[in-house]
Amino acid sequence: MSTQYKVCSCNRSMPLDADAGKLLARALGEPAVAVASELCRHEVGGFLAALDGVDRVVVACTQERALFSELAGQKQTVAPIRFVNIRETGGWSAQAGESLPKMAALLAAAALPDPEPVPTVNYDSGGHVLVIGPAARVQPWAARLGGQLEVSVLFTDASGVGGMLSERLYPTFSGEQVRVTGWLGAFDVSWQQANPIDPELCTRCNACVEVCPENAINLLYQVDLSKCGSHRDCVKACAAIGAIDFGREDTRRSGRFDLVFDLSDTPLLAMHQPPQGYFRPGADALRQADDALQLVQMVGEFDKPKFFVYKDKLCAHSRNEKVGCNACVEVCSAEAISGAGNHIKVNPNLCVGCGACTTVCPSGALGYAYPRVPDMGQRVRTMLQAYARAGGRQPALLMHSDEAGAELIRQLGRMARGSRQLAGLPARIMPVALHHAAATGLDVWLSAVAWGATNIAVLTTPQDAPQYVTALQAQLALAQSILHGLGYQGDHFILLKAGTAAELDAGLAGVAAGLAPAQAATFNAAAEKRTTLDFAIDHLLRHAPQKVESIALAAGAPYGGVAVDTAACTLCMSCVGACPSSALMDNPNAPQLRFVERNCVQCGLCEKTCPENAISLVPRLSFNEQVRNPVVLNETEPYHCIRCHKPFGTLQMVENMIGKLSLHSAFAGNLDRIRMCSDCRVIDMMENKAELQVTDLKRH
């Protein structure tokens, strides 16, 4: 597919000239790459000419994205236009003169074909918003939003201070114990109607206000129960209207709404990432205004990508009501994942696409789909290859979110221009935009090192959920322990925490190149997480500075073995039935417990299921060829039935059964039946005429 590259030095503010164009052309495999200096002004004709007869156009400018898009629209071009920022990411840094390899990498990645489309999740919002909170805060916003949205209000504090109900402009409720579930277009809200007056039934006639001797009823038509003397004059005054009921039994109320505007001091939904359509500005007036602007735009039909792929056959969440791996449930900041029997359930409407669940999933049951790992792998590998062809050395990747992280990088690039305090992005550090910083994990990171990267830095900002930061730290440490175990020196995996450009600049300055394999790998990333990891680890092992048999890993690692206390194990095979990855297995021809270490995901289900507490996990990464083959962890001679001599169990199992069942009424006085197989046990019971039979009970 043909690609036109349009590169501009931005009025010669970047060190780009004809020689730079030649180097970029070689790295990109193009005959020539012309370098403009005023592409958005006097040389715009060159951009327009590039739109003809090509499959795509890559423009190395994001500042004038709107202008170039408008010009392409006027020309009715069919070639897609990709925009890439080479200015703030390299051309304006202190090392701008050494940044050509990075620019080549960014241009090459921008020219890749579009990834396969992913399924979408749909929302339908009619604009029915429920405004919740204290009346004094709710009423002004209900009036402002009423002209553009269908408004309902729920007072959670109807003290009457600064509030008055007059015209019936919108449905009005009051209550406490408010509960909100759902998402944009489908919020279910329930509450307790605690006050004797139901404002939705009230006609605002003021009859109750006039007759109340304690002045306990305000103009929001709510009773202050601390003042009420229980005269019930208000009930008589309300008469047939029936809005006042002190003895109301059915107090639960509910409704469905498209949007929720939560003005409560304490948000009703406390998760770090609330559902789309739910806003919780509280008492912050500026946030209230910002959120209200978003509210009025959330009317109509919307869709978003379905960010994940779930393969339940690989899931190690639970077996037999024993929870093994719960990593995805614990890390999700949107509370979109929950247990569902032996598997999990992911609500696509609540999922915000952070990808942290796929990062911590040990088996690959949850995979990221926006983009898929093969597409992400192709992008990273393409960048590293172009960087190398342009003569770059010690390449490093900076993984960041395409919102907060990208903005921080842009700020640093602009502030570094002409600054003596800030250096900007180093020439060897290439930014890689992700939907979220947590969207990549071990498979991509280790593959990147196998492909030649000396560092992978992940940038988190204050907007990221704390559990994401914790999970990333653990996963990066795991990746680093694997490389250190193989003898690769240096810090390859770094978590950068930055909230300002200065903090980011300081963090980047401390990224020192780690040791990479002597030869770059050529494999492509696979859709299956553990397959990609196998490719990466095999390559890293092949070129490792030191040869080792195994690497000890921290608890929670996705690799390892199991240790069996053979003195305690009765070979009951409960662990075999619980193992979700076929790592533990029996032998149909002999009483043996066998184990394939390569299949083990260290979920712990075997350890939790074992009735004798005979199993413990051994987190490690073993390179012994035996890990691919079954090994016997425990075995014994079979126990033979004392009647027919057929093998039916093990000696230890039978002895344990005798010890536990000797006092049971079914076996008391007949312990030899425990030593019989199931068939002989039934025969012996039928032959023993002295025993009480069911038919005997019926005769009596």
What is the rounded distance in angstroms from the CA atom of residue 492 to the CA atom of residue 511?
9
| CATH code, 606 | 3.30.70.3270
What is the rounded distance in angstroms from the CA atom of residue 665 to the CA atom of residue 500?
74
What is the rounded distance in angstroms from the CA atom of residue 393 to the CA atom of residue 407?
27
Statement to judge: residues 180 and 254 lie in one domain? yes
Q: How far is residue 420 CA from its own chain's centroid?
A: 39
- Per-residue confidence (pLDDT) for residue 332, from 0 to 100: 97
Q: Write down which residue in 368, 383, 400 finishes a domain.
A: 368
Model confidence over 219-229: pLDDT tens digits?
A: 999 999 989 99
Residue 516 lies in a domain: no
- Per-residue confidence (pLDDT) for residue 249, from 0 to 100: 84
Mean pLDDT of 341-356: 96
- Per-residue confidence (pLDDT) for residue 693, from 0 to 100: 53
Residue 471: phi and psi, rounded to 5, are -65, -40
- Per-residue confidence (pLDDT) for residue 291, from 0 to 100: 97
Statement to judge: residues 10 and 149 lie in one domain? no
Half-sphere exposure of 166 (CA within 13 A, CB side): 3
Flag whether pLDDT at 52 surpasses 80.
yes
Residue 392 lies in a domain: no
Distance (Å) of CA 567 to CA 167, 310, 443, 614, 636: 81, 40, 39, 8, 11
50-64, 131-145, 234-248, 672-686: lowest mean pLDDT where? 672-686
Q: Write down which residue in 280, 302, 324 finishes a domain.
A: 302
Flag whether pLDDT at 168 surpasses 90.
no
Mean pLDDT of 1-25: 94
- Per-residue confidence (pLDDT) for residue 640, from 0 to 100: 81
Beta-carbon contacts of 338 under 8 Å, excluding residues fewer than 6 positions away, are 329, 344, 345, 347
Residue 412 lies in a domain: no
pLDDT-derived band of residue 636, with 50, 70 and 90 as boundaries? confident
Mean pLDDT of 621-647: 90
Model confidence over 668-682: pLDDT tens digits?
A: 667 888 888 888 988
Containing structural domain, residue 596: 560-635
Largest CA-CA distance found in the chain, in angstroms, rounded: 111
Using N-to-C axis directions, what is the helix angle for 529-542 and 373-389, rounded to 10°?
30
What SS3 class is residue 517?
A: coil
pLDDT-derived band of residue 369, with 50, 70 and 90 as boundaries? very high
Model confidence over 117-160: pLDDT tens digits?
A: 999 999 999 999 999 999 999 999 999 999 999 999 999 987 76
- Per-residue confidence (pLDDT) for residue 697, from 0 to 100: 47
Flag whether pLDDT at 666 surpasses 80.
no
Model confidence over 548-598: pLDDT tens digits?
A: 999 999 999 999 999 999 999 989 899 999 999 999 999 988 889 999 999
What SS3 class is residue 109?
A: helix
What SS3 class is residue 172?
A: strand
| CATH code, 313 | 3.30.70.20
pLDDT-derived band of residue 398, with 50, 70 and 90 as boundaries? very high
Half-sphere exposure of 360 (CA within 13 A, CB side): 24
Q: Write down which residue in 302, 327, 357 finishes a domain.
A: 302
Identify whether the C-beta of residue 44 lies closer than 8 Å to the C-beta of residue 72: no
Flag whether pLDDT at 386 surpasses 80.
yes
Helix (H) or strand (E) holding 430: strand 429-434
Supply 11's token pair.
């009025």
Residue 402 lies in a domain: no
Statement to judge: residues 631 and 643 lie in one domain? no
pLDDT-derived band of residue 334, with 50, 70 and 90 as boundaries? very high
Mean pLDDT of 84-105: 97
What is the rounded distance in angstroms from the CA atom of residue 542 to the CA atom of residue 536?
10
Residue 69 lies in a domain: yes
Choice between 661 and 564, residue whose per-residue pLDDT is larger: 564
Choice between 658 and 65, residue whose per-residue pLDDT is larger: 65
- Per-residue confidence (pLDDT) for residue 20, from 0 to 100: 96
Closest CA to 115 of 376, 356, 304: 376
pLDDT-derived band of residue 700, with 50, 70 and 90 as boundaries? very low
Residue 105 lies in a domain: no
Identify whether the C-beta of residue 110 lies closer than 8 Å to the C-beta of residue 58: yes
Mean pLDDT of 43-64: 94
Distance (Å) of CA 175 to CA 130, 140, 657: 13, 19, 59
Give the length of the chain: 700
Statement to judge: residues 600 and 629 lie in one domain? yes
Beta-carbon contacts of 211 under 8 Å, excluding residues fewer than 6 positions away, are 233, 234, 236, 237
Flag whether pLDDT at 635 surpasses 50.
yes
Statement to judge: residues 150 and 234 lie in one domain? yes
Statement to judge: residues 283 and 325 lie in one domain? no
Statement to judge: residues 181 and 214 lie in one domain? yes
Statement to judge: residues 317 and 282 lie in one domain? no
Flag whether pLDDT at 654 surpasses 70.
yes
Beta-carbon contacts of 354 under 8 Å, excluding residues fewer than 6 positions away, are 273, 332, 333, 334, 435, 436, 438, 439, 465, 468
Statement to judge: residues 243 and 162 lie in one domain? yes
Alpha helix positions (H), 29-154:
44-50, 65-75, 100-110, 135-145
Residue 68 lies in a domain: yes
Model confidence over 445-474: pLDDT tens digits?
A: 999 999 999 999 999 999 999 999 999 999
Residue 565 lies in a domain: yes
Distance (Å) of CA 101 to CA 16, 23, 392, 655: 12, 9, 5, 72
Query: Looking at the 3D structure of the chain, how many domains does it have?
Result: 5
Flag whether pLDDT at 8 surpasses 50.
yes
Mean pLDDT of 282-288: 96
pLDDT-derived band of residue 646, with 50, 70 and 90 as boundaries? confident
Statement to judge: residues 6 and 151 lie in one domain? no
What is the rounded distance in angstroms from the CA atom of residue 111 to the CA atom of residue 116?
15
Identify whether the C-beta of residue 390 lies closer than 8 Å to the C-beta of residue 21: no
Flag whether pLDDT at 240 surpasses 70.
yes
- Per-residue confidence (pLDDT) for residue 263, from 0 to 100: 97
Statement to judge: residues 340 and 252 lie in one domain? no
Alpha helix positions (H), 489-566:
501-509, 529-542
Flag whether pLDDT at 1 surpasses 70.
no
Statement to judge: residues 600 and 654 lie in one domain? no
Beta-carbon contacts of 598 under 8 Å, excluding residues fewer than 6 positions away, are 627, 628
Structure-token match 């007949």, residue found? 670
Residue 595 has what DSSP assignment?
E
Q: Residue-wise over 61-71: b if at least 16 C-beta within 10 A, else e?
A: bbebeeebeeb
